[in-house]
Structure 1
Amino acid sequence: MFLSRTLLKRHSVLPGFDLALGFTVFYLCVIVLIPLSAAFLKTFTLTWPQFWDTVTSPRVMASYRLTFGASFAAAVMNGFFGLIIAWVLVRYEFFGKRFVDALVDLPFALPTAVAGIALTALYAANGWIGQFLAPLGIKVSYTPVGVFVALTFIGLPFVVRTLQPVLEDLQKELEEAAATLGASRWQTFTRVLFPIMMPALLTGFALAFARALGEYGSVIFIAGNMPMVSEITPLLIITKLEQYDYAGATAIAVVLLVVSFVMLLAINLIQAWARKRQGG
């Protein structure tokens, strides 16, 4: 038995655990940890009162509320409609399906600046869509609503593409068995299908939320960038960098990073709980 294990380990196609782990840690350190550590080290050049005054000024706090609030709302919106879109693309055949499927990836391929300009043109008071909203008193461009629209646009593919493989692997026999046992369509979805899809849905939500937090190009055009109203946190960071206030920029970035990490960690814990419950 020992000899067979030794031969299997010796002739393994993939690299050994020690080598693979070492490469993984090295690569993550170079690509992720070292740049993030530089941001923290630059922030440490500030005293605690300076740091606190920088990250809690009214203008910065307003940008936090807009950035996190709009990102969360956009991720929730994408989670709901992304599930519907992924379900339709997987379960139904219709004319133009390939076109719709390719259209989902458009936010990936489209430069963010182009997306921002296009959204601004559409939702401006004289735009194709904005001209119908303006008489109703609904203003999208140059408001927080515009930020929400832009973040929803760029986050949709993350949810759809995360859910599609899971939906494709769902066996229709599960639905047939539930129907045989007398379950309604709603009961089949909520008690049989949704628990299976939930981890993937949470993953898509987390990816869309994280992507929205750092979005800059598509938002600055449609937001209007009015302080205390429609100014996002990434724009404040860029503003401080342009003013050569590197410590202030990294201080705001560190707060954004820490809060984002905590929220993503919480989502990952929920994912683990969902998988454990599903497996049990």
Structure 2
Amino acid sequence: MALVDASLSKPARTPPARTRGRRRRVLPGFTLTLGCTLLYLAVIVLLPLAALILKSASIPFDEFLDNIISARALATYRLTLGTALGATVFNGLFGLLLAWVLVRYDFPGRRLLDAIVDLPFALPTAVAGIALTELFAKNGWLGEPLAKLGISVAYTPLGIAIAMAFTSLPFVVRTVQPVLEDLDEEVEEAAHSLGASDGAIFWRVILPSIFPAFLAGCSLAFARSLGEFGAVIFIAGNRPMQTEITALLTFIRLEEYDYGGAAALSVAILFAAFVLLLITNIVQARALRYADRH
């Protein structure tokens, strides 16, 4: 009994001062982890971009300017940006609706539908382009009835937008879906108890909570649409000044061994993507600050 009392009265062991307040980390130290991360970033991302910029800087400025502001290049910018914007607007609306259905409703085939959403990720873009071309050609399953209504899809900007929407839809769904799953439904029930309508609850409670994720998904979808190549070239028709996208013009410059012109066009696309990401990050940060305040 005395031994038990002595063990109970023994003071707890105090950890050494050098380990007190230190959090346990599973990964190695900060220096090694940061070094590996920066090395990976430099080799995979920064080095190819630096080579691209250096290649474009090696050509005379007049030639660089002629490549990025030629009439053919400007036509590709308008087509690429316009169709990518249209595809992103469609994916933003439809992707949000699809994510809502997958999270808030339980129905037969829900898991199958959830798996189909990831199909554009796994499907080679060339296969997607061939399938869409066969589907929307004038003698295709959808193209023939649409042609009777006077609507042409294949080899038109509309077909390009559809191909971009097909390949970029999962970005919106997979970005918004986890946020909807984590959204506390008690907040919605509280709003209902206070007399708020369904529309008011969506605009004032749900949308502010999911808006940063929604914006991120739309930005990723837009960026993917800007760089889409395989799915587009089959359904576009690739007619200069009409259905030729910027990525295809860059590829044509490479086939012509005009590496300087291809690099110049690539830098223009890179600059547009950088500006897009910068604007998105600014809007996202403001939306997160607004959500934290409210």
Q: TM-score, normalised by structure 2?
A: 0.92
Establish whether residue 151 from structure 1 lines up as the match of residue 164 from structure 2: yes
Q: Which runs of 5+ in 1 are unaligned?
A: none
d(CA) in 2 for partners of 1:3, 1:230: 70
Establish whether residue 131 from structure 1 lines up as the match of residue 147 from structure 2: no
What does residue 205 of structure 2 align with?
192
SS at match of 1:244: coil
1:266 deviates by 0.2
Letter in 1 for 2:278: L
Deviations 1:51-102 (A, max 9, x none): 1111111011100111111112211110111000000000001111111111
1:7 deviates by 5.0
2:267 counterpart (254, 262, 275): 254
d(CA) in 2 for partners of 1:48, 1:56: 12
With over 3 angstroms needed to count, the CA separation of the structure-2 counterparts of 1:133 and 1:22, relative to structure 1, is same
Establish whether residue 97 from structure 1 lines up as the match of residue 107 from structure 2: no
Letter in 2 for 1:14: L
d(CA) in 2 for partners of 1:138, 1:264: 35
Establish whether residue 214 from structure 1 lines up as the match of residue 227 from structure 2: yes
Identity of aligned residues (%): 57
Q: Which runs of 5+ in 2 are unaligned?
A: 1-13
Deviations 1:180-233 (A, max 9, x none): 111100000000010000001011001111111111000000000000000011
Establish whether residue 48 from structure 1 lines up as the match of residue 57 from structure 2: no
What does residue 256 of structure 2 align with?
243
User: What is the RMSD computed on CA atoms of the aligned residues?
Assistant: 1.6
2:42 counterpart (29, 48, 53): 29
What does residue 84 of structure 1 align with?
97
With over 3 angstroms needed to count, the CA separation of the structure-2 counterparts of 1:44 and 1:123, relative to structure 1, is same
With over 3 angstroms needed to count, the CA separation of the structure-2 counterparts of 1:4 and 1:181, relative to structure 1, is farther
1:164 deviates by 0.8
SS at match of 1:118: helix
Structure with greater Cα Rg:
2
d(CA) in 1 for partners of 2:23, 2:250: 51
1:19 deviates by 2.3
**Which structure 1 residue ranges, 4+ long, deviate > 6 Å from structure 2?**
none
